[in-house]
Amino acid sequence: MSTATANKVFSERIGRIEVSATLAITAAALKLKSEGVKLSDFGAGEPHFATPRHIKNAAIEAIEKNFTRYTNVAGVPEVRRAVVDRHACDFGSNYAPDECVFTTGGKLALFNAIQVLVDHGDEVILPVPYWVSFKDIIQYAGGTPVYVESREDENFRVTAKMIEAAITPRTKAIVLNTPSNPSGAVVSPEDLESIVRLAHKLGIYVLLDECYVYLNFTGKIVSGGSFTDCKEHVVVLGSLSKTYAMTGWRAGFALGPKPIIAAMSKLQSQSTSNTASMVQQASIAALNQSQECVAEMRSDYIKLRDQVLAGFKTIPGLTCTVPQGAFYVYPNVSAFIGKGGVTSASDLAAKLLSEAHVVVVPGEAFGTAEHIRLSYAVSGDVIDEGVKRMREYFAKLG
Ligand SMILES: Cc1ncc(COP(=O)(O)O)c(C=O)c1O
């Protein structure tokens, strides 16, 4: 082995990505918590609800019945059938079970889809603000994110026109996340259809992160998979994490053209293999049994969103778009940057934590410099206390 090779520890590709930007703030928050500080925690992007009882029971039963062995890499036929049936029922799609791979969380579905589609030099269109992992996953594959800025005064709306303007001969894929983490913006059904049709015409892949698809508050819920005549160029990336309060279970899926799903399964066969077998059984229960829990959680999120927005109205200088889905608010904090020694949104997030004991995620993680993200998947009491602390802290900044 040559000295140069021996001295080189890390691959070039691991240097292309960063540690999740939320990690520093999470570590600081954990430290304060361990010292006994009571935090108003709006950091975590996960439901505060418990996983519904019937889903837990299905996993317990699977374990008791020793359903604890390896399964097919892409998931047992029943779980893939449950995914495609639920999707067909809710969105009018027509996927077959072999157009579905069940994955260890929605993030892995996204990761694998990008790994099998994106090569060095390929461009991937990514609307801003974006969920933090998109950029890194694209870069890890060697692709170049091409950012499309949405406008705050248009509620961070992403339109077909904006996407079209960013297409070049090197565009391989478009990543869309609707409802969006972090802004809660929803791509209108008309724009979604135009984007999917345009991409299909041009031979570009639309990677639709539909992790929050059931947390759409507009009443008009569509999926990229609804446009069945374009399915050759659509990959739907789904997750049970937020829909069924199952973040820790790691259950997600992709729906797409058979060759893409086969390539993703091949990649999965050389990494995680199948999703935990009892998690597959719990997921079958989640997808096949009553969906009442989903509707209940959605109506609670709408109430919590309205509560946090009403609270923000009591904070002079803070402005916020009205999210149409997911469970995040993305207020603009530019009025406070430059005051009281605050130099940036990141600095503000650090000071909100150390001085007001409020956990938020700075906008830099999502590609914008003047915002902070709060998850309102918390109790109403946490919202009231957190908003009070923010109001007092911002008032002190003058
Ligand atoms: C936009 C988006 N996509 C995907 C995921 C991943 O979800 P999971 O891997 O838990 O299914 C998240 C989680 O926060 C998300 O916000």
In this prediction, residue 26 carries a pLDDT of 82
In this prediction, residue 221 carries a pLDDT of 87
- The burial class, CB within 10 Å (0-12 / 13-18 / 19+), for 278 is buried
The ligand 1 atom at the shortest distance from the C-alpha of residue 107 is: 9
CA dihedral angle for residue 184, residue 372, residue 162, residue 158, rounded to 10 degrees: 10
Q: Ligand 1 pocket, 226 CB below 6 A? A: no
Q: Ligand 1 pocket, 106 CB below 6 A? A: yes
Cis peptide before 127 (omega within 30 of 0): no
Q: What is the pLDDT of residues 226-267, one digit of tens each?
A: 999 999 999 999 999 999 999 999 999 999 999 999 999 999
- Express as a percent the part of the chain with pLDDT over 70: 98
Please name the residues in contact with 150: beta carbons below 8 A apart, sequence gap of 6 or more.
Answer: 127, 128, 129, 156, 157, 158, 162, 183, 185
| CA 306 to ligand 1 center in whole angstroms | 23
- Express as a percent the part of the chain with pLDDT over 90: 91
3-class DSSP state of 256: coil
Q: Ligand 1 pocket, 177 CB below 6 A? A: yes
The ligand 1 atom at the shortest distance from the C-alpha of residue 106 is: 11
Take atom 6 of ligand 1 and give the residue whose Cα is closest.
Answer: 107
The ligand 1 atom at the shortest distance from the C-alpha of residue 247 is: 10
Our mutation pick for probing the ligand 1 site, out of 22, 110, 126, 181, counting the most ligand atoms within 8 A of Cβ, is 181
Tell me what the mean pLDDT of segment 286-312 comes to: 96
Q: Ligand 1 pocket, 274 CB below 6 A? A: no
| CA 176 to ligand 1 center in whole angstroms | 13
CA pair distance 8, 27, nearest whole angstrom: 29
CA pair distance 287, 29, nearest whole angstrom: 35
What b/e sequence results for 52-72 when a residue is b if at least 16 CB atoms lie within 10 Å of its CB, and e otherwise?
A: beebeebbeebeeeebeeebb
- Averaged confidence pLDDT in the chain: 95
Q: What is the pLDDT of residues 28-59, one digit of tens each?
A: 899 999 999 999 999 988 899 999 999 999 99
| CA 133 to ligand 1 center in whole angstroms | 9
Q: Tokens 């997808």 — which residue?
A: 287
Q: Ligand 1 pocket, 252 CB below 6 A? A: yes
Q: Ligand 1 pocket, 105 CB below 6 A? A: yes
Q: What is the pLDDT of residues 138-160, one digit of tens each?
A: 999 999 999 999 999 999 999 99
Q: What is the pLDDT of residues 267-292, one digit of tens each?
A: 999 999 999 999 999 999 999 999 99
Residue 336 sits at φ, ψ, to 5 deg, of: -105, -15
Above 90 in pLDDT, residue 5?
A: no
Q: Ligand 1 pocket, 243 CB below 6 A? A: no
The pTM assigned to this predicted structure is: 0.94
Q: What is the pLDDT of residues 321-378, one digit of tens each?
A: 999 999 999 999 999 999 989 999 999 999 999 999 999 999 999 999 999 999 999 9
Tell me what the mean pLDDT of segment 72-83 comes to: 98
In this prediction, residue 172 carries a pLDDT of 98
